[in-house]
Structure 1
């Protein structure tokens, strides 16, 4: 199915923010009493949530958006592309949309940003979903090796002209091998078109520098302050998530008062919202409605 059939009925537009310029969003369910923000991973864009926006908009005003420096949002070169910066962007976007409090969900970098925002601005977060999140300690040797492999894969691509083959190879990292059929020409092509844009080519080294924390001796950006997460928090995980495995998720969840861990039944890796959307949407809806899974 086409990405745009998945999003048929949603509104794609740009929202001006004071510090980060124009931000591309896709939204559905405007007017619903509760809002839900969905945030993608590093180097990603809002199409990562193509299979979730409309399904979840039955009960929520759902907003997925491109981080600054990503997708079709503005890409200022003077910005420090760190989780705290993206958290400030989320706050400005909520202000621009007139939303004081919302449910927040993020995948990978998006989860890191969601947790950072919840610790910074607890009064603005209703319930929090950390979906295969970054920003938590890696506790296994396997996880450390996988982070170094990802960094190496990304470093090889910096300064090179992206191709269908290199983008598809990078996106295979996101998914369980049984789901690689989802990497069709449209999904890969949409990411390639973004990566080929001159503004992304300029911003990419700064955006991807966050991965350099894998280097021995590198200063690691501030992790999620797990003990400060005061809202209901769900760690939504998979059995095959790279880098931050189930051991890491279990250890992080134990540090969050009221934290819960849900492990997807479907075979999925780093992108459960796209690999197994029916299960993902059901779990998200249940948690946001009841605070439990």
Structure 2
């Protein structure tokens, strides 16, 4: 049961906490007949920010403005999440990679740096292997799913836990994911987070992604060594979702990497320690 609960809280990292943007702030583009929503700011080389499971582009609210002072920053609602279309199909990691590549083609982006948190880290790493010619650098933040899920994980249990229906459920999420959670636990913030999460209606997508992982699809156990891009790994020390064993494996397998541990963060360092995060990312990109 303990193992199941650890898996269940993966989805926590990606709730609507800290959401501030409105749907009207997003731009739209059509990929494979589906509408993808995204926020784009700044000029220069392109950075594409990828959120985690059950979240959307608002996850990067504390980072976009700073990074956009030097780069063209795109924060994307991946297919099936946030304000993007949610076609009923068997989602898996390669599905998200396919739509990310299609997005870049439609936008005329020949090469970009990917910054992915949690599930977004998995998608970014998969992209690094399948489309290396289109990747400049790789930044993965508390990356989940690269090595799969525990054998006793249950898709239905995760689905139920990942779709909070009460403010109490949302509070449980926050306590498990954020090391610094006092502000997020205020009743009004919990209420707004629940409203936002329910409005996205991404439960089907979440369920399909988890099912694909349980089936062993698009895991990276045997392909981490194929990542050739210069890579920055950022990990929250208090993250109950991605164990240090996973980070140690990534450090060993990814050829050219720098790993930084954030002592005051859980699963979302870009929110909990945004100033340090933004500085570390810019320093890495400037090397």
Change (3 A) 1:185 1:21: farther
Q: Which has the higher contact order (CA 8 A, sep 6+)?
A: 2
Distance in 1 (alpha carbons) for counterparts of 2:194 and 2:107: 30
**Stretches of structure 2 lacking an aligned partner (at least 5 in a row):** 1-17
- Deviation digits for residues 55-101 of structure 1, max 9, x if unmatched? 11111111111111111111111x22111111111112222222110
In 2: Cα distance, 1:185 partner to 1:34 partner: 40
- Pick the aligned partner of 1:27 from 40, 44, 55: 40
Contact 2:53/2:119 (<8 A) preserved: yes
1:14-53 to structure 2, matched below 5 A, reads 14-19=27-32, 21-29=34-42, 32-53=43-64
Say if 1:20 and 1:76, in contact at 8 Å, map to a contact too: no
Q: Give 1:205 deviation, angstroms.
A: 3.2
How many residues of Structure 1 are paired with residues of Structure 2 in the alignment?
267
Q: Match for residue 249 of structure 2? A: 251
Aligned to 1:241: 239
- The CA RMSD measured in Å over matched residues stands at 2.8
2:145 paired residue among 108, 115, 135: 135
Verify the 8 A CA contact 1:42 1:208 in the aligned structure 2: no
1:12 CA drift (Å):
2.7
| 1:141-290 to 2 correspondences below 5 Å | 144=150, 148=153, 154-157=158-161, 162-176=165-179, 178-184=180-186, 188-197=190-199, 200=201, 203-212=202-211, 218-224=214-220, 225-265=223-263, 267-290=264-287
Alignment match, 2:6: none
CA distance in 2, matches of 1:187, 1:94: 34
Cα distance, 1:157 vs structure 2: 4.0
Corresponding position of 2:93: 83
1:8-51 superposed Cα distances (whole Å, 9 cap, x missing partner):
9xx9323222326111111210xx22010111110111111100
Residues 1:92 and 2:92 aligned together: no
Range with greater deviation from structure 2 (230-239 or 108-117): 230-239
Distance 1:195 1:179 in 2: 18
Q: 1:260 to 1:36 in 2, by over 3 A?
A: same
Q: Which residue of structure 2 lines up, in the alignment, with residue 106 of structure 1?
A: 116
Match of 1:74 in 2: 85
1:196 partner SS: helix
TM-score, normalization by structure 2: 0.82
The equivalent position to 1:12 in structure 2, one of 10, 18, 25, is 25
Distance apart, 1:250 and its partner CA: 1.3
SS in 2 for 1:171: helix
Q: Secondary structure at the match of 1:181?
A: coil
* Distance change in 2, residues 1:276/1:124 (3 Å): same
Q: CA deviation at 1:194?
A: 4.0
